[in-house]
Structure 1
Amino acid sequence: MYEINMPIKIPKQMYVIFVNFIMLCLGGFVTIYVAENINAPGYERLYLLPLTYTFCFLILFSRMLFQRFKVFIVVFTVIGFARFVMLPYFIVFNDYYGGRSPEPPLASSMETAIYLMVYELVMVTIVIGILDYFQNKKYKARDTQQPFDETKSYFGYKVFIIIGFAAAIVIPGVISSISFFIPKPDLVDVMEDSNVLHMLGGYMFILAKQLIFIMVTWWTYKKYVATNQMLYVWIAIIALFTNIGIFIGTNRSDIVLVAIVSLVTFKLLFPKYFKMVVFFVGAMIVGIIIVMSTVRNIASISGGTSGVTDFTDNMQVYFGGPYNVAMALETKLVFPEARHMSVLFFDIFRPMIGVNIFVKNLPFDYSNLFFNQRYFYSDHTTQILPMIGQGNLFFGYLLSPIFSVLVVCLAYFIQSKIDRTRSIEMFYFLTLVCTRMGMLMGQNTMNIINDLSYNLALFLIIYYVNKKIVFKKRLGDVRYE
């Protein structure tokens, strides 16, 4: 008799217990360490950040991570861990309680900022729990054997791809702003500082590049299913790396976003080879970001003497740490005009691709400009106004998490569309937007709106035009449905 060794399947509940144990140890350690070693006025309650996140993780997020894959929750949990656990630890460990402003925030502002961050996390956690409960009731698992339906026609996409590449060649400056794996120098904020035609050409090229990735990946998937030949897997991998490695400008979050969504799409079609690919993609992303940081020539807060200090400072900036939230609170005091509804109007419509053409010359300022004026007392605009600070600016302490809550609601609405769509291209671009929303605590509404209009609005136009056009090979004509 032969014994059949069946693989042992570990229940998901065991993973939840294990991750909860790790989080309890890490969160407990950081909470105690921060509470015992704080050495700056205004930071006395800093330990509340890791403590609150640990409770939220144990109560809700750990279970959600292993229920079913939702890119918003994964990204939100990772960013939350960095913001609420890692950052407080490094602030205290490195004794770095400052920032880049020549005039630091008051101790009272720091204390209020910490309370607001806790308030924001609690409110967002409650909303996520409620929305997730109702969404899970309606959820139907995707068919892993046939995850998507065949697109009836690619004619509209092919025409747009030709137009997108032609625009990159014809419009001055677009082709020179495109990087291939290695970021080009002197391209910092190239899309933000360009004219409308240049920006449109760049957006069209990036959209065309991503459509090529989707079409090639879907084609290789069908060929692999039919033939089981590894050649098609390698073609899909090459398409994956190319999609990530071709970019415009030096915005690091854009590179990470495309990498995450490309990997999610690849995993859905080629789950067997995902682990092999993800390591090399991660290494490539780290390499690109390191080179990109050098190209951007970001000033070292420590003058190059302490990598830990520079790392802490970067976390403070990109994850909306307490220093930046405190700065946002003082923006309201230093510039009372920043609370005006015209500023909110500009915050909504100025970053909206297309609409911004009509409003950008209006005599208004946007909130991030006031925030940076408080930060540097100059025209520098390098710092990101945290979303909780933006909410407080317009609606006060009580309603300060309103923007964060609205973004969560929108993310869950988009997630419901992701769950139901049978279109691979719709899945890709909706996931791209949902990934950006997972970074909400280090962003503001301007980042989210810009991303929605850039990554989703333009694609939806092309998507619906493509659906209406059917190319008949046999007759050699084009008709509209």
Structure 2
Amino acid sequence: MAIYGSDIQIGSSVSMVIQGQAVNLMLYEMIVLFVVFAIFHKYFYSNKNEFQNVKSRPNLFGWIFVIFTLTLVALFPTSIGRYAFIWSASELNNDVTADVGLTALLVQIAQIVITVGLLNIIYKFYERKPNILYLFLSLLVIMISASFIIGTSRSSIVIPLITGLFTVFILYKNYRKLIITLSAILSLLVISVSTLLKQNTNVVTARGLYHSAGAIENFNTDVQIYFSGLINIGHSIESSFVYSPFQINGVLGDITHSVIFVNSFFTNFQSALVTFNDMFYKKVGVSDQILPLLGQGYLYFGAILSPIFSIIVLLVVMLLDKNIHNSNSVFTLYVYAYLCLKFSLFFMSNATILLSFFTNFFLVLLVIAILNKKIVVRRKLE
């Protein structure tokens, strides 16, 4: 932005007055988050930086869930239509053309469960007889798992990749220097290949042509679109001209928009998500832009309470970080790390996306972890 300016290659422009308000709002959010962290960090962190002794533990219910999901996939093959294997695909699958129902959701969860399940098995052998071979097997599992991209979303490979590499870093303490080096190489390789694939993919959307601009312009556009940039916050402020705050039905309807079953209880409301896209493009019918978390809080609750979602997410991230340190099984370590990373990227999403992930993904994984833990407790009692 310092080199090129605030304008991006997609959507409508924002006046300098609105941009000034957006800058002030972003600075306000930053100050509030620093203050919240300074006040509450002592409840989540201590001077000790050691992790619990993580062990391989039974994952019976995880594999039961995987078998159940594979059965559904056999019955509904379109549920995997959004996936592409980056090492063999010539282009990515368009999100619009594939099934995004309940079975597709279960497939995404099963991908996580299979990955952590295999890591758990490999680490079990490592506990019995430590050998660097098990480290390379774990890295192979992570690479394969992270190579399945959903639609054109690079986050669908970045998050599993980073989570897996972090898990391996914690488990294999004797090889951490090697893991850091290999992690850098693997991350660069996977992200580069997926980026090239995305550029080669003909995705028919309103933003499909903006990459015809120069390198700096494209980079500026990508940063602002993916990281809640100045223009996105500016469009959020513009949306407040036609969207009134404190619409409780609208707030609940928007936030639970992607939560299965619950979303059916909220209808006939003005959606801030839709309003934001209308203001972004200055026309109706296009809805491919994410309303930023800060902008969402601004539209729902006004300027003073605009960082409320950011504050909640920050507290959740600190809690998850604490749980990561206290994890004593491969399964819980991976799941908490996955969720923590997802919530840490809150500037790339909003409350609707994060709540959807929490309810549709994490609760299922939490139930599996609890059931697995009951098996361990029962064995100890016997």
TM over 0.5: yes
- 2:220 paired residue among 286, 299, 312: 312
Give the structure 2 partner of residue 181 of structure 1: 86
Asked if 1:336 corresponds to 2:247, the answer is no
Q: What are the Cα deviations for residues 357-376 of structure 1, in whole angstroms up to 9, with x where unaligned?
A: x347x223431111001111
Distance 2:138 2:46 in 1: 35
Distance 1:224 1:336 in 2: 57
2:56 touches 2:123 (CA, 8 Å); kept in 1?
A: no
Give the structure 2 partner of residue 100 of structure 1: 10
Give the structure 2 partner of residue 366 of structure 1: 271
Distance 1:281 1:98, change over 3 A: closer
Shift of residue 187, structure 1, vs aligned partner:
3.1
Q: Relative contact order (alpha carbons < 8 A, sep ≥ 6): 1 or 2 greater?
A: 2
Runs of at least 5 residues in structure 2 that lack an aligned partner in the other structure: none
Q: Whose radius of gyration is greater, 1 or 2?
A: 1
Give the structure 1 partner of residue 165 of structure 2: 263
Q: What are the Cα deviations for residues 277-300 of structure 1, in whole angstroms up to 9, with x where unaligned?
A: 213321112211331243263524
Distance 1:415 1:232 in 2: 26
1:191-340 to 2 correspondence within 5 Å?
A: 194=99, 198-271=100-173, 272=175, 273-282=178-187, 283-295=189-201, 297=203, 298-301=207-210, 304-333=212-241, 335-337=242-244, 340=247
2:61 touches 2:371 (CA, 8 Å); kept in 1?
A: yes
2:83 touches 2:93 (CA, 8 Å); kept in 1?
A: no
Distance 1:213 1:336, change over 3 A: closer
Root mean square deviation, CA, Å: 2.7
2:258 touches 2:356 (CA, 8 Å); kept in 1?
A: yes
Shift of residue 209, structure 1, vs aligned partner:
2.5
Give the structure 2 partner of residue 154 of structure 1: 59
Counterpart of 1:216 in structure 2: which amino acid?
Answer: L
TM-score normalised over the length of structure 2 = 0.87
1:392 touches 1:399 (CA, 8 Å); kept in 2?
A: yes
2:81 touches 2:93 (CA, 8 Å); kept in 1?
A: no
1:329 touches 1:393 (CA, 8 Å); kept in 2?
A: yes
Runs of at least 5 residues in structure 1 that lack an aligned partner in the other structure: 1-90, 474-480
2:9 touches 2:217 (CA, 8 Å); kept in 1?
A: no
Give the structure 2 partner of residue 393 of structure 1: 299
- 1:452 paired residue among 358, 362, 365: 358
Distance 1:462 1:218, change over 3 A: closer
Shift of residue 423, structure 1, vs aligned partner:
2.3
2:21 touches 2:234 (CA, 8 Å); kept in 1?
A: yes
Q: What are the Cα deviations for residues 12-32 of structure 1, in whole angstroms up to 9, with x where unaligned?
A: xxxxxxxxxxxxxxxxxxxxx
TM-score normalised over the length of structure 1 = 0.70
Counterpart of 1:405 in structure 2: which amino acid?
Answer: I
SS in 2 for 1:213: helix
Deviates more, 1:113-122 or 1:341-350: 341-350
2:92 touches 2:152 (CA, 8 Å); kept in 1?
A: no
Distance 1:365 1:427, change over 3 A: farther
**What is the aligned length?**
370
1:267 touches 1:274 (CA, 8 Å); kept in 2?
A: yes
2:245 touches 2:302 (CA, 8 Å); kept in 1?
A: no
Distance 1:465 1:365 in 2: 41
Distance 2:362 2:55 in 1: 20
SS in 1 for 2:84: strand
2:8 touches 2:220 (CA, 8 Å); kept in 1?
A: no
